[in-house]
A and B are shown apart, each in its own frame.
Chain A
Amino acid sequence: MIRRPIKRQTSIILGVASLLLLLGVYSWISHRQHQKNPDDTTIPTWKQIAKGVGTAVEVNPRSRDRWLVEDAKASGFRLFVGLAVGVAGALVLGMLMGCFAPIEAFLQPPMSLLAKVPPTAALAVFFVLVGTGTNMYISMIAFGILPTLAITVYLAVKEFPEELQYKAYTLGASHAEVICTIILRYVFPKLIDAIRLVIGPAMVFLIAAEMLVGDVGFGYRIRLQSKLLNMSVVYPYLALLAAFGFAMDYTLTLLQKKCCPWYEGARG
């Protein structure tokens, strides 16, 4: 029994069953709540949720825009630019730290220290330094993920076997080529793994900041609608966030498979 594999078919059926069970239990709880209080909005029925989705997608009569479009544009831009800046910075710093001992000695203490400060707690710092605009979100996400990512890259470089480095030299590589042609290629799939892990935290930073100071974005909308107990809007937003996280994860895994076909097997 223990650790014995099951058929693929069985595993798919079980997975679907658990999701169906989740939806079924929700429907039941919602149904019971509405028997008690027909006007309840905390555990909306499917019908109410459909209406909530309508509210989010249709042009809002007061603000004359579509909430979901505006929120997705704002949050998406902040998240992607923040991630891009963070990843680029982490890659450069991590590579430098891994390749050059003086830079390693110089940067490691602040890096490990900063990695321990929760960026959401340091929100006021970004607020003071770069204001409340888009820059604040971007810098918070970037600085939030940078230490972890940089250290991952740095450790991956350290792990690179020195034999392969010497080998590259005997094959006529320059120092720049050892870094950019050889080590970078070795580090790349590990970087993708690390990015997959920081997308969750990056979303947490963004949503938290938007809840605190935003005037548009997923975090702002969720906070507002939660206060109004409009859970019929909040739940679809949460589902969308989940779907987004899932899609990002899938895309990165696919990218890793396409760009580094060697990685999956070499890891084992």
Chain B
Amino acid sequence: MKAPEADSVRHPIGLESRGVHHWFGPKRVLADVNLKVRRGQFLSLVGPSGCGKSTFLRAIIGTHLPRQGHILLFPFGQTSEGVPVTGPGRDRGIVYQHYSLFPFFTARENVAIGLKLDQTSFPYRYFRFPQWRKLRKRHLELAEEFLAKVKLSDAMHLFPHEMSGGMRQRVALAQSLIMKPEIILLDEPFGALDEATREELQEMLLALYAENQQAKERGEKPPHTLIIVTHELNEAIYVGDRVVGLSQYWDWGKEGHADCPGATIVYDKSAPVFELKDGRDFEKFARQREEIRRIVFEPSVLQDRHEHVIYWKQLSTVEVTGMSL
């Protein structure tokens, strides 16, 4: 247990996007996206619609690899140079806004399915049926624990179509959490929910963040690393400890491009860390919200793309209120 811990201190990065470019035919989407995500971080990714957030997520998941550049993973406890993403894998979970659950499984089966797919194979399930039965029972028990964690013990046997949108997203979260992936991506997870449900789920994420901090205090690996894509700036600042803005509105002319080469990261700053007991005082970060709106979302404001990418500088000057190294 000692060695990996030392490694994680030396390599606090869980995932890196290195020089990622992407385009579809003549349409340039991503231009030189560089991002290092710290292990245990809750990173909010914001940007105007059509800026390539989804493309970036797909690159991380590995279903649509970037045309240029790499996504690198740094599995916990390995002092490697980073493993480039070549396709989807069980180390990166995702929660979509829609279609987040398999319609033919109940809540419990939906949560347990990852364990089944990851730990067993066809030959095992058919030829070693008795063992598989026993293992299946353990999987289902574990799934029940995770459902209890997202407060859905009562809905265990419901099918997705019998659940509300909020319940579905909670099951989807449990479905990803049970795999203990290196990173979980949430693609506008609460976009289709009503305000009250939304707040409930945000608080659930804060509870996960608190688990991270407890693990850090014990000197262990923080269990959850999240990238949450959202168009709601309050949510971005409230849930994340860092806000990254991806935008096509930046001063590309200054870097010698004749046309817009695509969206890149124009904003990267730490965000205040909220605890559940703090309540949601949105006035606290009204200034940051306005700043993001201007820099990331305003088409007429074209600034140097490095100007507001100062997260790591903030970190080194311990200006960050988030998790310490």
Q: Which of A71-79, A103-111, A172-180 contacts B (4 or more CB under 8 A)?
A: A172-180
Decide: B181 and A186 in contact? CB cutoff 8 A: no
Decide: A186 and B104 in contact? CB cutoff 8 A: yes
Secondary structure of the B side of the interface? loop
Decide: B159 and A266 in contact? CB cutoff 8 A: yes
B79 within 8 A of A: no
Decide: A174 and B87 in contact? CB cutoff 8 A: no
A170 within 8 A of B: yes
B102 contacts which of A166, A177, A182, A261 (Cβ < 8 Å)? A182
Decide: B117 and A166 in contact? CB cutoff 8 A: no
Decide: A163 and B99 in contact? CB cutoff 8 A: yes
Decide: A177 and B122 in contact? CB cutoff 8 A: yes
Assuming the A-B contacts A163-B99, A182-B102, are A266 and B161 also in contact, with contact meaning beta carbons closer than 8 angstroms in the complex? Answer: yes
A257 within 8 A of B: no
B63 within 8 A of A: yes
What CA separation (Å) do A266 and B122 show in the bound complex?
Answer: 27
What CA separation (Å) do A174 and B124 show in the bound complex?
Answer: 14
B89 contacts which of A163, A170, A262 (Cβ < 8 Å)? A170
Decide: B94 and A172 in contact? CB cutoff 8 A: no
Minimal beta-carbon separation of A62 from chain B (angstroms): 53
Residues of A within 8 A of B113 (CB): 171
Please count the residue pairs between chain A and chain B whose beta carbons lie under 8 angstroms apart in the complex.
82
Q: Which residue of B lies closest to A264 (CB)?
A: B161
Residues of B within 8 A of A161 (CB): 98-99
Minimal beta-carbon separation of B196 from chain A (angstroms): 25
Decide: A164 and B102 in contact? CB cutoff 8 A: yes
For B62, B94, B96, B104, the residue with the greatest tally of chain A CB atoms inside 10 Å of its CB is B104
Residues of A within 8 A of B102 (CB): 164, 167, 182, 185-186
Decide: A166 and B103 in contact? CB cutoff 8 A: no
Decide: A174 and B121 in contact? CB cutoff 8 A: yes
A181 within 8 A of B: yes
Minimal beta-carbon separation of A25 from chain B (angstroms): 45
Minimal beta-carbon separation of B224 from chain A (angstroms): 15
What CA separation (Å) do A242 and B148 show in the bound complex?
Answer: 52
Q: Which residue of B lies closest to A167 (CB)?
A: B94
B104 contacts which of A167, A177, A180, A260 (Cβ < 8 Å)? A260
Minimal beta-carbon separation of B149 from chain A (angstroms): 18
B160 within 8 A of A: yes
18 residue pairs of the A-B complex, CB under 8 angstroms, read: A167-B99, A167-B100, A169-B87, A170-B179, A171-B93, A171-B117, A172-B90, A172-B114, A172-B179, A173-B117, A174-B117, A182-B102, A185-B102, A186-B104, A262-B103, A262-B159, A266-B104, A266-B160
User: Could you list which residues of chain B lie within 8 angstroms of chain A, going by C-beta atoms?
Assistant: 61-63, 87-90, 92-94, 96, 98-100, 102-105, 113-114, 117-119, 121-122, 159-162, 175-176, 179, 181
